[in-house]
Amino acid sequence: MAELNPVSSLNPTDPISRLNPLDSSAAPLSPAQVSEGARTGEAGGAPAPAPAASPAPDGRGASETVRPAADAAAPNGTTRRPLLLRALGFLRGRKAILSLLLALFVETCWPATGRHPPVDREYLRLFLTLSLAFFLAWPLAVRRRPEAGGKRLAGDDFHAAAFLLLTIYNMATSKLTVIPAIFFPTPDRVLAVLVEDFGYLVVTCLGASARLLVAGFFSGALAGLITGIAIGFSKPAAYWLNPVIKILGPIPPTAWIPIVLVAFPTTWAGACFLIALSVWFPTSVMTSSGILNVQNAYFEVSSTLGARRVYQIFLVGIPAAMPLIFTGLFSGACASFLTLMTAEMVGVKNGIGWYINWQREMLSYANVYAGLIVVALTFYSLITLFFKVRDRVLVWQKGMIKW
């Protein structure tokens, strides 16, 4: 077989062919020769080189922009992925939905042991179904609102963990009964109490607690504001009141219960006093501290402009001390919640705390857990409302304290 010489196989009349990498004697080509060779190649039918792939707009290479066969164009010209891939893409990043599906699967397909008292309706399954419908409808709702920007529901990991814990608790109580049934009721029983005893639990008991809390909180807040203003603007008042606050303030309000029971005519009045006492101490301390920390230049300027003492108190001192006043009110609110529960469990014969203690004595722990859920939701709503008011009043400090 004849040996093929790569040099001799080139076309000597083609300027491009004379660019032989094996021939060291080849002369360099001029620009006119290069353009002539390009025209010769086009006339001879040689395929034009493929243009270089331009990078994608987001910086990815051409190889990354190639779509799989599953994204092939549909007959109508639009790209469509298989249903399974679309479903997985929708659930990606939505862990709460997966946790809810697991909870529904356990509740529906896993039979109960029958050691717990039955309920009339399947409240847990209804609750999980409604929750799943909400989490599925949320992306569709935000997609219809351009201002929402397609954002997902905040706290997805927390919601997923909460539903997972609910599933574990349901398995430990209703499905396996590995913990004492008398102290740990099933979620169905707790939800049944919340639904069936809603009127008595919320309207009667929570309403009585709300009246007691409002009376005690506002009485203590008013007394704390008056005490703090007096200490901040009057040296004689500071001389006489500071020792009283330092001695009596740190005493827990619940320690006064034995004296309150004999000193007040009714348990309701005694409980109101204890709540007011728990609010008075932090409010008075923070109010006086806020006023004392106001720059003296503010008062000097107001005096120069002819402001009287009352004007300096209400329009200079109190507004400047408002951030610390709200801090004291927040501390007092948290202390009032604790004092309210303790006072109702000890002496008051009505209220949510009394209800929880009464059901504990009756060994109805499903009612106890239902009462705790109502307490948690109520106090959370009150603190949220408190911070909304704070952000509205202290507009220059909005968002400084997160809740």
- DSSP structural state of residue 24: T
Contact between 384 and 403 (Cβ < 8 Å): yes
How far is the first Cα of the chain from the last one, in angstroms, to the nearest whole number?
89
Instruction: Give me the pLDDT at residue 359, please.
Output: 94
Tens place of pLDDT per residue across the chain (403 aa): 444 444 444 444 444 444 444 444 445 555 445 445 544 444 444 444 444 444 444 444 444 444 444 444 445 544 555 665 555 555 555 788 899 999 999 999 999 988 998 898 999 999 999 999 998 888 777 666 655 444 556 677 899 999 999 999 999 999 999 999 999 999 999 999 999 999 999 999 999 999 999 999 999 999 999 999 999 999 999 999 999 999 999 999 999 999 998 999 999 999 999 999 999 999 999 999 999 999 989 888 998 988 898 999 999 999 999 999 999 999 999 999 999 999 898 778 889 999 999 999 999 999 999 999 999 999 999 999 999 999 898 887 776 777 7
Question: For the chain, what is the total number of helices (H) and then of strands (E)?
Answer: 17, 0
Give the residue among 303, 309, 288, 170 at the shortest CA–CA distance from 232.
288
- DSSP structural state of residue 70: G
**Residue 191: partners with Cβ closer than 8 Å, 6 or more residues away:** 123, 124, 127
Question: Which letter, b or e, does each residue of 38-52 get, where b requires 16 or more Cβ atoms within 10 Å of its Cβ?
Answer: eebbeeeeeeeeeee
Domain positions in the chain: 84-184, 197-397
At 151 the three-state DSSP class reads coil
Instruction: Give me the pLDDT at residue 81, please.
Output: 59
Instruction: Give me the pLDDT at residue 398, please.
Output: 76
Contacts 24+ apart (CB under 8 A), 367-372: 367/193, 367/197, 369/185, 369/190, 369/193, 370/190, 370/193, 370/194, 370/197, 370/201, 371/201, 371/205
Domain 197-397 bears CATH identifier 1.10.10.10: no
**Distance between CA atoms of 377 and 374, rounded to whole angstroms?**
5
Give the residue among 297, 286, 256, 291 at the shortest CA–CA distance from 274.
256
Instruction: Give me the pLDDT at residue 345, please.
Output: 85
Name 73's bridge partners.
Answer: 79
